[in-house]
Amino acid sequence: MRTINFYSGPSLLPNEVREQLALGVIDYEGKGFSIAEISHRSQTFLSILEELTHLVKTLLQIEQTHEVVFVQGGGRQLFAQIPMNFLNTTETAGFIDTGYWAHKAMQYASYYGNTICLATSKNEGYNHIPTVDKEKTKGLKYVGITSNNTVFGTQYKTLPKVFCPLVVDMSSDIFSITRNWNEIDLAFACAQKNVGVAGMSVVIIKKEFLATQQKNLVPVFSFQNLIEKKSNDYTPPVLSIYSALLTMRWLKNLGGITAIEQYNAQKAQLLYTAIEESTLFLSLIEKKEDRSVMNVCFYGANNKIEQDFLQFCEHHHIMGIKGHQEALGFRASLYNAQTLDNVLALTHAMNTFEEKY
Ligand code: PMP
């Protein structure tokens, strides 16, 4: 029996991706070898990388404007690698602090250059997306934001307007929502939510912005170098890359980002409505437009209710809904691979629990 999985990352894979990945590890397309057993310089693997890069560009409709590269490591690594590539000690990057990850990204950037916090919702428990005076972004090397706050459950539905390049951590909502890529100079996402198996990140860089990269970087950290080498300089994380290809094929077959966006909205609507109609559970994100479609964070009316509901979920094979240690409460992650059936199972559990309570 499959459990009902709401983990925030690593998280659920689409069923067919999970199955094809398993097959590929045992015997890749019936060729008599595992995808994990062949050289990253072999034609088979080169074709995987090429198709993956092409699919990412076409799904996002950025064929002409942006470069796409896959790098070893996760989100935190990019918090360092981006300023390493684009910030020096005479320059300043601005950050909008929407919570845990945005804050960490700013801290990491301060190792390479100057940083400034343009706005924060910290004093209100990160319960909304703070607004920023566009004038304050003049002269900055870039502004860094987190499009979806995985920990507190807020999300930019439209990106903020700035007078400088915009760098977006899309770790927890890439490929789930239509974005205006003209406004995005660099975006990155660790794989383990909407892309595939943990171990790498996808980085998307506008060509004009790439031209402003620092000189004399160690090649393994230089985006320019990794793009020239077509994401195949050091040995790439082959399983993570193969899983990403399977996910992108799956997404394309579903109808791409506009199709998954509608499905995601349906799942989130169902869960937020259940929270609103409940007397035991509540959401702290008051502005509906700020509520995340990917990570629904909610709380029990008191500690006892939270403990009892966690036990109730465990009993009903619902896993991974405990909130992040900074936010506490509950968090149900509704990434692209999450199913409406699973969300229905959760709302049903909430209703049953409430009736019994
Ligand atoms: N950014 C965001 C928005 C995240 O949700 C996460 C991880 N959950 C990270 C960065 C960090 O990713 P990693 O654990 O791969 O360093």
Q: What is the pLDDT of residue 103?
A: 97
| C-alpha closest to that of 211 among 67, 79, 115 | 67
Distance in angstroms (rounded) separating the CA atoms of residues 45 and 33: 12
Pocket of ligand 1 (CB under 6 A): 9, 74-76, 101, 146, 150, 169, 171-172, 190
Cα separation of the two ends of the chain: 28
Return the residue whose CA atom lies nearest to atom 10 of ligand 1.
75
Q: What is the pLDDT of residue 286?
A: 83
| pLDDT exceeds cutoff 90 at 1 | no
Q: 2 CA distance to ligand 1 centroid (A)? A: 26
168-181 pLDDT, tens digit per residue, is 999 999 999 999 99
Give the E-state strand segments of 171-255 in sequence order: 186-190, 200-206
Mean pLDDT of 266-284: 97
Two tokens, residue 221: 């950290």
Return the residue whose CA atom lies nearest to atom 15 of ligand 1.
74
Return the residue whose CA atom lies nearest to atom 12 of ligand 1.
75
Ligand 1 atom having least distance to the Cα of 77? 16
Q: 169 CA distance to ligand 1 centroid (A)? A: 9
Cβ–Cβ under 8 Å, residues 81 and 128: no
Residue 216 three-state SS: coil
Return the residue whose CA atom lies nearest to atom 7 of ligand 1.
75
Q: 314 CA distance to ligand 1 centroid (A)? A: 25
| pLDDT exceeds cutoff 90 at 357 | no
Distance in angstroms (rounded) separating the CA atoms of residues 323 and 283: 12
Ligand 1 atom having least distance to the Cα of 190? 15
127-161 pLDDT, tens digit per residue, is 999 999 999 999 999 999 999 999 999 999 999 99
**Residues pairing with 149 in the sheet:** 154
Mean pLDDT of 283-293: 95
Return the residue whose CA atom lies nearest to atom 9 of ligand 1.
75
Return the residue whose CA atom lies nearest to atom 3 of ligand 1.
171
Give the E-state strand segments of the chain in sequence order: 4-5, 66-72, 92-97, 114-120, 142-146, 148-149, 154-155, 166-169, 186-190, 200-206, 281-282, 295-300, 318-319, 330-333
| C-alpha closest to that of 7 among 356, 351, 330, 347 | 330
Q: 254 CA distance to ligand 1 centroid (A)? A: 26
Q: Name the CA dihedral angle for 285, 290, 293, 294, rounded to a multiple of 10 degrees.
A: -80
Give just the sign of the alpha carbon dihedral 64, 66, 69, 75: negative
Q: Give the pTM.
A: 0.98
